[in-house]
Amino acid sequence: PAPACFSDFTEMMRALGYPRLISMENFHTPNFMLVSEVLLWLVKRYEPQTDIPPDVETEQDRVFFIKAVAQFMATKAHIKLNTKKLYQADGYAVKELLKVTSVLYGAMNTKGVERTHVSEEDSSKFKFDLGSKVADLKAARQLASKITSRGASLYDLLGKEVELREARTESIARPLEINEAEKTMKVAIDCVLEQVQKTKDMLNNVALDEANLEAKIEKRKLELERSQKRLQTLQSVRPAFMDEYEKIEEQLQKQYTSYLEKFRNLTYMEQLQDDHRRAEQEMFEEAANMLHLMQNRLKEEEQHLLKSGSNDDSDIEIQEDEGSDSEVEDGQIMKPRTTTETLLKG
């Protein structure tokens, strides 16, 4: 917004008699408290008897306050305010405030009021005079609404005047016959007398209906009392099968507790059985793996012994002594036996 807008706003507010000084620095950042205070002061200056709530603590209160002020200015002063800019409470809100201040400032200039602070006596007189004419203002509004409604109905009736004019001219042009008029009057009198008689009959019937209704009410009261007494007797009397029912209910409770215990034991035993089977399966697999490893080791050892035996036969000379041969053979035979025994032990 232009600086001229701020200067015009501050000068107008000072001329209107705003008690505080307003500068451009106040609107560099959003200042909702100042904007709400200025709006409330302008609304009170325009119409002191307004009842707009000044609470602006929460977000909902602020939105309600802005909407109320905008609605008031639109209906009373025909000034359209931008609620979004007013809610921003920054420099853009000054343009919206300037719309109201310019109207009040122009009204003050047209009345020839000097640009000075309005004294307290003048403001009190203004409030007193305006408050005394609030009733007249309300009456004027009611009359204005009645005038508009009556004008609309009159417009509708005038639209039907073309058709009604012909019927009216025909009825006026037709000569009046005394006999027909007498007949119509007699018919109307008979209808009125019939309606009067019907009304009298209805009044008599009302008295009869009242008596019948009272009798029915008394009868219903007696039936209600009998029903209440019967209910009390039924509540006090114990049924014949109640003892047996309670015994069966106790047995059922015992059976249910035993059933729960057996069910828990059964589930526990099934879990133990599953664990035992799982452990046996693991042991069987482990034994199979060990057996397979031992078989592989024995095969490797036999292959190793066979290779070493072939190498020893080629290198060692044949001895003539039979006892030495037997000792060598016994030593070769015992060696693999000892190795297999150690493996099996391991």
Write the pLDDT tens digit of every residue in 144-173: 888 988 988 888 888 888 888 888 888 777
**Please, what is the average pLDDT of the chain?**
79
Mean pLDDT of 45-52: 80
Q: Which of 231, 228, 233, 346 is nearest to 294 (CA)?
A: 346
Q: Quick one: pLDDT at residue 1?
A: 52
Handedness of CA 165, 170, 175, 176 (dihedral sign): negative
Question: Model confidence over 286-339: pLDDT tens digits?
Answer: 999 999 999 999 999 999 999 887 665 555 444 444 444 444 444 444 444 444
The answer to whether the pTM exceeds 0.75 is no
Q: Quick one: pLDDT at residue 313?
A: 57
Contact 89, 31 (CB under 8 A): yes
d(CA 53, CA 60): 12
Q: Quick one: pLDDT at residue 166?
A: 85
From the number of C-beta atoms within 10 Å of its C-beta (0-12, 13-18, 19+), residue 17 rates as middle
Q: Which of 13, 45, 18, 22 is nearest to 91 (CA)?
A: 22
Q: Quick one: pLDDT at residue 314?
A: 53
From the number of C-beta atoms within 10 Å of its C-beta (0-12, 13-18, 19+), residue 133 rates as exposed
55 has a pLDDT exceeding 50: yes
Mean pLDDT of 25-30: 78
Task: Name the band, by pLDDT with cuts 50, 70 and 90, for residue 3.
Answer: low
d(CA 40, CA 101): 12
Contact 12, 102 (CB under 8 A): yes
Give the residue extent of every domain in the chain.
Answer: 1-110, 178-240
With a CB cutoff of 8 Å and minimum separation 6, the contacts of 118 are: 16, 17
Contact 24, 124 (CB under 8 A): no
Ramachandran assignment for 304, one of left (phi > 0), alpha (psi -120 to 50 degrees), beta (any other)? alpha
CATH class name, domain 1-110 = mainly alpha
- DSSP-assigned letters across all residues of 89-105: TSHHHHHHHHHHHHHHH
Q: Quick one: pLDDT at residue 275?
A: 95
Question: Model confidence over 244-300: pLDDT tens digits?
Answer: 889 999 999 999 999 999 999 999 999 999 999 999 999 999 999 999 999 999 999
Q: Quick one: pLDDT at residue 124?
A: 47
133 has a pLDDT exceeding 80: no
Q: Quick one: pLDDT at residue 33?
A: 85
Ramachandran assignment for 89, one of left (phi > 0), alpha (psi -120 to 50 degrees), beta (any other)? left
27 has a pLDDT exceeding 80: no
Task: Return the percentage of the chain with pLDDT > 90, whole number.
Answer: 26
Q: How far is CA 198 from the centre of its chain?
A: 58
d(CA 38, CA 18): 8
More confident residue, 178 or 231: 231
